[in-house]
Amino acid sequence: MTTVDDQQPRSGAGPVALAELRGEFRHLRTAINNRTFAAKLALCAALTGGGAALALHPALWSRVVGVVLLGCTFAHAAELQHQTLHSLGFRNRRANTVAGIVLGVPMLISFAAYRATHLRHHRDLGTPENREFFDYGDQYGADGRRSRWRTALTWTVRFTMLHFYRLFLVNAARAALRRDYAGESAATSRRIRRDHHVILAAVLAMTALSVALRDPVVLWVWILPLLLVAGPVHAAIELPEHFRCETLSEDPFANTRTIRSNRLMTWFTNGNNFHVEHHLMPNLPIERLPELHAEVRPGLKYFHTSYVDFFRKVVRG
């Protein structure tokens, strides 16, 4: 199988070996620190407020900087939402739910739908039943034989997240019609409808504010940051997780990738760069993933030192 990585030999890890490995690192399962996640939320809120102020300033340079800052913050918020759906943000489940719903609004992400699909992804990765919440088209780069134009189209679809926005419109319509969602229980369907109602209410409120002020506020602080920045940035963060890995293997060292990167990117991705470690121990507090990485680094098969390194090797084929 052709990959974009420099591979290191490693024997496959079966269920028993993985269970023993997880037991070896159970000491890392420390208590969740509410203050740590509250600080993350406070910083995210401050960046959102600062970005909005810049985006609404009449100077063009300020608007551009504001749109970029907001878009990046939206993508960061989606990574914080990932922490809440694993109940790793706050110790209280309701607090995780409320925070998760709010964090998903900027990128039109239903907390309940993301949680249900993502937890199944953890369960099913390594099997044909595996599905991801964010659909980038050719999700894992399986179809490598394409013309130059077809390749360009595929990457355009991936980085514009067109499939995801189409799914949001379909799900929002089902929420407006009070219909259930295929494959979900009645209770989960109610929660998914709730999230879409919250998002639609936010859209209506921002639109109404724009009309009242006779200024396209919703365009500058939401639509442009979402479409031009947040979507591509989010795709760049999430796509490498399993891209061209052995996704039909149940071994997380074979089906998932880790990108060490730097402290800034580890903060920005909220530890999502340590993705093998996350799949190895999904309930491990995010702040402990670097410690787990130090322990398992020699066994990583798909590993990069930075996101630049990953995408450079993708381009080179």
269 and 193 part of one domain = no
Range name among 154-163, 172-181, 236-245 with the lowest pLDDT average: 154-163
Do residues 187 and 274 share a domain? no
Whether residue 202 sits in one domain with residue 88: yes
Give me the domain span that covers residue 287.
Answer: 242-317
The answer to the question of residue 111 being in a domain is yes
Which of 234, 253, 288 is the endpoint of a domain?
A: 234
Residue range 226-234: mean pLDDT, rounded: 97
Residue 150 lies in a domain: yes
| pLDDT attached to residue 10 | 41
Q: What is the 3-state secondary structure (H, E, C) of the chain?
A: CCCCCCCCCCCCCCHHHHHHHHHHCHHHCCCCCHHHHHHHHHHHHHHHHHHHHHHCCCCHHHHHHHHHHHHHHHHHHHHHHHHHHCCCCCCCHHHHHHHHHHHHCCCCCCHHHHHHHHHHHHHHCCCCCCCCCCCCCCCCCCCCCCCHHHHHHHHHHHHHCHHHHHHHHHHHHHHHCCCCCCCCCHHHHHHHHHHHHHHHHHHHHHHHHHHHHCCCHHHHHHHHHHHHHHHHHHHHHHHHHCCCCCCCCCCHHHHCCEECCCHHHHHHCCCCCCHHHHHHCCCCCHHHHHHHHHHHHHHCCCEECCHHHHHHHHHHC
Please give the pLDDT value at position 314. 87
Q: 176, 206, 234: which is the final residue of a domain?
A: 234
Residues 142 and 281 reside in one and the same domain: no
Is the per-residue pLDDT at 4 higher than 90? Answer: no
Same domain for 45 and 194, yes or no, is yes
pLDDT at 242 over 90: yes
The confidence band for 141, taking pLDDT boundaries of 50, 70 and 90, is confident
Count how many domains the chain has: 2
Q: Is residue 83 part of a domain?
A: yes
Are residues 64 and 128 both part of a single domain? yes
Note the pLDDT tens digit of each residue in 142-161. 765 667 787 788 888 888 99
Same-domain pairing of 195 and 271: no
pTM beyond 0.85: the answer is yes
pLDDT of residue 3: 40
* Rounded distance between C-alpha atoms, residue 218 and residue 210, angstroms: 6
Asked if residue 214 and residue 78 are part of one domain, the reply reads yes
**Mean pLDDT, the chain, whole residue set:** 91
pLDDT given at position 305: 95
Is residue 171 assigned to a domain?
A: yes
pLDDT digits 0-9 by tens, 104-134:
999 999 999 999 999 999 999 999 999 999 8
Does residue 91 form part of some domain? yes
- pLDDT mean over 246-253: 94
Residue 112 lies in a domain: yes
Could you say which of 180, 208, 234 is where a domain stops?
234
Q: What is the pLDDT of residues 270-302, one digit of tens each?
A: 999 999 999 999 999 999 999 999 999 999 999
Residues 281 and 155 in one domain: no
The pLDDT > 70 percentage for the chain reads 92
Write down the residue that tokens 């800034």 correspond to. Answer: 264
Domain assignment of residue 13, yes or no = no
Query: Do residues 218 and 70 lie in contact, with contact meaning Cβ atoms separated by under 8 Å?
Result: no
pLDDT at residue 186 tops 60: yes
